[in-house]
Structure 1
Amino acid sequence: MPLTVEPVVTRRQQKQFMQLAWDLYRGDPNWVPPLRQTQKEMLNFDPDPFYEHNEIQCFLALRDGKPVGRVAAIINNGHIERYKERRGFFGFFESVNEQEVANALFDAARAWLKEHDILLVRGPTNPSLNHECGLLIDGFDSMPTFMMTYNHPYYPDLIEGYGFRKTEDLFAFWGDLSMLETLDPKLKFVVDEAKRRFNPVLRPIDRKNFKQEIRMFLDIYNKSLVATWGFVPMSSAEIDHMAAGLKHLLVPELTTVCEIEGRPVGAVFGLLDYNPIIKKIDGRLFPFGFLRLLWGKKSLKRVRLISTNVLPEFQRWGIGLVLLERLIPDGLKWGMEEAEFSWVLESNHLSRATLERGNAKKVKSYRIYDYAPTEPVQEEKK
């Protein structure tokens, strides 16, 4: 049957684009459906502040009228401006196990990016490194945690078969919460020394002043990651939108803010792993799925430590460990049994070494790929 690839324009095509994941993973015990409304926003099928300054074009591969693959081409103008390179991104890739389908999809995405004078391509990002990203390459034997990706084991072959090559790996580390109560003596010394030196005030997020707390976190987040590979700051509108979606899912006991001399210098966010409930409600928040998420909180025993951020001038003084230490008794009191630290960049040697010294186990690996074109690349004019 002839294969065709078409840009997603109509409502019907949007539904086909989203439905394809349900079709491809039917019967897979470890696949967790996306929250449908969130997915619509991430694809720009419904408004999302990320697309106030960025662009996306989705493509659907069909054989005999039946969807067999999909991909999105993404222009992240924040990346172009920050790194002075005309690099595009791909995301939301799904495909049957046929190289022809993957090739046709990537050809279409690259052609669209080329129309915008972009030849370099990186991905998968859904739609950016501040959202779900990376292709699972190791750890297919269990469900991902909340807001982490999952894909078929044959996807790396399809992506590499097209010509993409590894640029950076991301890791997920697992730890038993009770195991973290007894720190490696060297790490315990670092925590005690940081407390002695800075006399930090530690507290959970204040839900009553949620908007102010999120603004505070945005400031720390954007400043703390300035030297991190691939980082592009989130806008205030993006943070507000993400915070609104997570507000009722956030458990204050699983968060910590560190203040030194009245100034917030670090924050850690832990999110309950809602994926077992999301799987049961099939990604539908309405009419009753959202209530099931809220009612099911207490049954969840795993937390994803999604972000530990410390201002640059305090990063090598152990404040990150101090932030995490405060969580442990509250987490155990809540009923937490497991924690996943994700994701951690391969190039973040300090965080990786700290987790490994604390006996955390690397359980999943994800990969970001770059495409190197054979034609000359035009440099961004400075």
Structure 2
Amino acid sequence: MSQVTCHPVENRRDQKAFLELERRLYRDDPNWVPPLWSERKKLVGFKPHPFWLDAEGQTFLVRRDDQVVGRVLACVNHAHNRTHKDQVGFFGFFECENDPEAARLLLDTACDWLRQRDMTIARGPIHPSLNYEVGLLVDGFDTPPTFLITYNHPYYESLIKDAGFDKIQDVFSYEASIDILNDLDPKLMFVIEEAQKRFQASTRRIRRSHFNEDVRIFLEIYNKSLQQTWGYVPMSEAEVEEQSAGLKQLLIPELTSIAEIDGKPVGAGFGLLDYNPIIRRIGGKLFPLGWLHLLMGRKKITRLRMVSANVLPEYQKWGLGLVTLYPIVPAALDFGIQVGEFSWVLESNQLSRGTIKRGGATCTKTHRIYDRPLTSDDTDSEKITAADTPEGSLS
């Protein structure tokens, strides 16, 4: 009989095995796109990242005999629990062979770790918060993911459900031809025109001469606009700095829009080019020449991911989101974009979903977030004790 064991990641050899498992599991999958490995190392905690200044986590590996067959990150996001006044722990970066016994032990172990830190619910997959990558793909396996959208094997859903998790929220990706978006429903055009008249709103793109300042405006509006969004936690100042540095390399000013009223920024929208075809070619490695390929090849990209069209709370529900978004469409056409994807959109965000559908977009992918209650008797697995897992360790 083969033996299944689960252990915390404790050294560089374990870290390498954690990362290599992903490569091995998707080696023959034509739709898989490798992550940017330098970013993956930071978000799982193997390298410094500002998210972990206010969170603690532990990565785990599950082995069948000597073969690594699964991995997961368990995480306590203190900022989330302060914001929402709850005790929710998270799991993310889950990968596993189609081995229900190993998957159950792996997820039970992660839940045990969260329970030891007084969490009452385990939620995921979240990588590692809603400000990054979220959800398990449950519909839309026929095409590759766009940039920063997760992808996984279809059988993962049964592994997670069999480990005691139930759906808590879906997130959707919508797709539309840019030509369709350029011919909006007359009702939406009316909303845009009325909002512009009511508020005397104007729009502009990011200024190359004030790039850092304008990227921060984007992130500050993003932080303020999502305060009432399910599960959302504002990025810390250090995270804003980290994200600003990354976006500076990736954003195309022509594909951005800032809405202003009396010179005050009230809305921000931007699209990210779908860099995934290039990332696949460079194997997810930015160094030594990956960055050059990324920057040199972006003029050939024909797909745009609309990541954000956010408006300050006091101006929401007045159509200013559409005002913010609209100037990006002709700019995208001029750039050569053929397809736009709106992702991701929460199931509970009925307003945004309805507006996107009226604009002619169709849902192409569904990702799911699951919850599992953490009680003293919700697992039959062998417990990992505090001695087994270093307190607050981040491997």
TM range (shorter): over 0.9
Cα-to-partner distance string for 1:186-237 (whole Å, 9 max, x where unaligned): 1111011111111212111123222222332232112110111001000111
User: What are the equivalent positions in structure 2 for 1:186-225 lying under 5 Å apart?
Assistant: 186-225=187-226
1-structure distance, mates of 2:248, 2:142? 31
Whole-Å Cα distance in 2 between the matches of residues 225 and 10 of structure 1?
38
Shift of residue 375, structure 1, vs aligned partner: 4.3
**Partner residue of 1:138?**
139
Secondary structure of the residue that 1:57 maps to in structure 2?
strand
Q: 1:110-138 CA distances to partner (integer Å, 9 max, x unpaired)?
A: 11112211231100110001100100000
Corresponding residue SS for 2:249: coil
Q: Residue 308 of structure 1 corresponds to which residue in structure 2? A: 309
The residue identity in structure 2 corresponding to 1:136 is L
Corresponding letter in the other structure for 2:341: E
Q: Which residue of 1 aligns with 2:24?
A: 23
Question: Residue 274 of structure 1 aligns with which residue?
Answer: 275
Q: Deviations over 1:36-75 (max 9, x none)?
A: 1000000110100000111110000112211100000001
User: Structure 1 327/58 Cα, relative in aligned 2: closer, same or farther at 3 Å?
Assistant: same
What's the offset of the Cα at 1:289? 0.9
1:236 aligns with 2:237: yes
Query: Equivalent residue of 1:167, what SS?
Result: strand
SS at match of 2:228: coil
CA distance in 2, matches of 1:124, 1:335: 34
Contact 1:269–1:307 (CA under 8 A) maintained in structure 2:
yes
CA contact (8 A) 1:218 1:236 kept: no
Give distance in 2, aligned partners of 1:376 and 1:262. 58
Secondary structure at the aligned position of 2:327 is classed as helix
1:43 is matched with: 44
Amino acid in the other structure paired with 1:120:
I
Q: Which amino acid aligns with 1:184?
A: D
Which residue of structure 1 lines up, in the alignment, with residue 128 of structure 2?
Answer: 127
CA-CA distance at 1:376 after TM superposition: 9.3
Structure 2 distance, partners of 1:119, 1:7, is 21
- 2:133 maps to a residue whose letter is E
Partner-residue secondary structure (3-state), 1:55: strand
Instruction: Describe the SS at the equivalent of 1:248.
Output: helix
Superposed displacement of residue 246, structure 1: 2.4
Q: Write the deviation string for residues 79-117 of structure 1: whole angstroms up to 9, x where unpaired.
A: 111111111000000000111011111111111112211
**Distance in 1, Cα, partners of 2:29 & 2:147:** 17
Query: How much does 1:239 deviate?
Result: 1.4
In the other structure, the counterpart of 1:380 is: none
Q: Given that residues 192 and 320 in structure 2 are in contact (C-alpha distance below 8 angstroms), is that contact kept between their aligned partners in structure 1?
A: yes
Task: Give the number of equivalent residue pairs.
Answer: 377
Please tell me whether the aligned partners of residues 115 and 374 of structure 2 are also in contact (alpha carbons under 8 angstroms).
no
Bigger mean CA offset, 257-266 vs 191-200: 191-200
Aligned equivalents of 1:133, 1:263: Cα separation in 2: 32
Q: Match for residue 299 of structure 1?
A: 300
Amino acid at match of 1:41: K
Look up the match of 2:56. 55
Q: Quick one: distance in 2 between partners of 1:268 and 1:157?
A: 37
Q: For residue 315 of structure 1, report the CA deviation from its aligned partner.
A: 1.2
Q: SS in structure 1 opposite 2:213? A: helix
